[in-house]
């Protein structure tokens, strides 16, 4: 039985949707590294797995300690373990997460009050990231691919939207995830036919004509996210 | 920087389809443990990650050294890392794999010739497994769930079939994966409409009336299997 010296880290790609021009854009927080390797470069929030905690717990803890954020949706993405991905041998169990912009704002406000705002953290648009440390550029690309893929067959976009939203909000969320424009009329038809949206009696008013607010049917799972829903 | 003592193992759930009665059944090889913990119990093939190899390579190597098998399809399933899943702290990166029965037979025959057949290995039907060591019962259940799930939106079943097959073969593969009977006429209609099957000029003859042989269109990906297909 050999016991090679391999360390286990946990990192999280956490996306939110933030307003940009007429629509919205996917954004994620990065942490500037304060030590070697890759000192001064941006990296995914994360840290070492502790011997006394499970992987999911480690992802939540390290995300919280580095960014102050607590995600509304967290799912294991992939274990990255190429030999040369770090100067020392590190296997990273990577999670991906979603957080609604209103929750980001609320969590930020809470940190401002307690003066516990994390340092060295900055949000970046997913389509204009700086050069990242380690293989984190590849990891973000894969997380985006998984998000896009999952958007096609689950209501995962809800993890980026507030409880009530207009069909335009929902379309913009999908446009941001998929990285392309969708035809509004087609989108409305498909969304209404999906049977996952419940129309409310409320409307959003403002500079445009009033738009009906919808909410998701909570009886429909956000998405299957790992071994938890396994039938026993 | 804490460096807790955590070891990394790699295990693989490898399925094949073997004839059973009128149809076929999913089966997987297990290895009887020859030391503690769980000495004498059945476990998934696997071993420790070596410091000088990547995760995929470790999965192939440990599968080969314990069972003599080389899979036709190998994909990372999930990293299992609950604190109490083993007496010592072990994070297992688990893969799942498919192997056609004709390849199982060919690889077995090769081992018989060279007298290198692995010991302590036995194949079990996926729906009647013994009690497994560690959390391996949960892991197999999750691998089955992933296989069933993926069968719904990819041509993954091909990983269990020979190059040429009848529509009845294909239906039996799906029936084994999904664990339920499918209507032959409906299945034929859907398979023919999928545009992934290419009819050949050959037929299988035997006790039944001749059945046309098909092959898969190789231009269609078996399934997205991880970061590899990530757009850069």
CA angle A62, A67, A69 (to 5 degrees): 85
* pLDDT score of B191 more than 60: yes
A79 chain-B contacts, CB cut-off 8 A: 55, 76, 79, 93
Specify the pLDDT at position A154: 74
A36 in contact with B, Cβ within 8 Å: no
Element (H, E) at A59: helix A55-67
Chain B neighbours among A 106-135 (CB < 8 Å)? none
Specify the length of chain A in residues: 232
Rounded to whole angstroms, the Cα distance separating A158 from B79 reads 26
A221 in contact with B, Cβ within 8 Å: no
Rounded to whole angstroms, the Cα distance separating A60 from B221 reads 35
Q: Which of B180, B181, B158 is CA-nearest to residue B170? A: B158
Q: Which residue of B has its CA nearest to A85?
A: B54
Residue among B8, B142, B149 minimizing CB distance to A8: B8
The residue ranking higher by pLDDT, B19 or A89, is A89
Distance from CA of B121 to the nearest CA of A (A): 19
Question: In this predicted model, what pLDDT tens digit does every residue of A18-75 receive, in sequence order?
Answer: 888 877 899 999 999 999 999 999 999 999 999 999 999 999 999 999 999 998 789 9
CB atoms within 10 A of CB A123: 12
Is B145 in contact with A231 (Cβ distance < 8 A)?
Answer: yes
What is the mean pLDDT of the segment spanning B162-181?
A: 91
A141 chain-B contacts, CB cut-off 8 A: 227, 230-232
Taking the domains of chain B in order of start, what are their residue ranges? 7-216
Distance from CA of B56 to the nearest CA of A (A): 9
In this structure, the dihedral spanned by the alpha carbons of residues B200, B201, B204 and B209, taken in order and rounded to 10 degrees, is 120
Can you tell me which residue has the tokens 């037929």?
B203
* pLDDT score of B229 more than 80: no
Element (H, E) at B190: helix B184-193
First to last CA, chain A: 32
DSSP-assigned letter for residue B84: T
What is the mean pLDDT of the segment spanning A212-231?
A: 66
Specify the pLDDT at position A59: 97
Burial B12-51 (b: 16+ CB within 10 A, else e): bbbbbbbeeeeebbbbbbbbbbeeeebeebbbbbbbbbbe
Chain B neighbours among A 55-74 (CB < 8 Å)? 55, 58
Residue among A2, A89, A226 minimizing CB distance to B48: A2
* pLDDT score of A1 more than 60: no
A55 chain-B contacts, CB cut-off 8 A: 79-82, 91
ipTM: 0.86
Specify the pLDDT at position B225: 58
Residue among B49, B54, B231 minimizing CB distance to A141: B231
Query: What is the pTM assigned to this prediction?
Result: 0.88
Q: Which residue of B has its CA nearest to A50?
A: B4
> The domain B7-216: what is its CATH number?
3.90.79.10
Specify the pLDDT at position B102: 87
B37 chain-A contacts, CB cut-off 8 A: none
CA angle B208, B213, B215 (to 5 degrees): 150
Averaged confidence pLDDT in chain B = 88
Is B48 in contact with A79 (Cβ distance < 8 A)?
Answer: no
Specify the pLDDT at position A16: 93
* pLDDT score of B149 more than 80: yes
As given in the structure block, the two tokens for residue A102 are 């209103």
Question: In this predicted model, what pLDDT tens digit does every residue of A88-131 receive, in sequence order?
Answer: 999 999 999 999 888 888 888 887 776 666 779 999 999 999 99
Q: Is the dihedral of CA B169, B173, B178, B180 positive or negative?
A: positive
């Amino acid at each position: 039985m050999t016991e090679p010296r391999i360390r286990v880290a946990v990192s999280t790609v956490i996306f939110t949707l933030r307003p940009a021009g007429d629509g919205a854009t996917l954004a994620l927080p990065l942490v500037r590294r304060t030590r070697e390797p890759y000192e001064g470069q941006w990296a995914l929030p994360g840290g070492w797995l502790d011997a006394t905690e499970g992987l999911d717990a480690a992802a939540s803890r390290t995300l919280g300690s580095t960014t102050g954020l607590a995600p509304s949706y967290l799912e294991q993405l992939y274990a990255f373990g190429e030999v040369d991905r770090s100067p020392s041998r590190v296997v990273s169990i990577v999670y991906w997460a979603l957080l609604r912009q209103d929750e980001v704002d609320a969590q930020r406000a809470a940190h401002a009050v307690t003066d516990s705002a994390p340092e060295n953290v900055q949000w970046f648009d997913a389509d204009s990231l700086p050069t990242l440390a380690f293989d984190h550029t590849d990891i973000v690309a894969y997380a985006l691919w998984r998000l896009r893929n999952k958007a096609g067959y689950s209501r995962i976009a809800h993890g980026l939207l507030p409880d009530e939203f207009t069909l335009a909000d929902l379309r913009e969320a999908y446009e941001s995830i998929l990285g392309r424009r969708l035809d509004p009329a087609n989108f409305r038809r498909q969304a209404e036919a999906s049977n996952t949206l419940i129309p409310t009696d409320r409307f959003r008013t403002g500079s445009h004509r009033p738009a009906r607010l919808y909410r998701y049917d909570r009886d429909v799972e956000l998405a299957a996210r790992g071994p938890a829903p396994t039938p026993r």
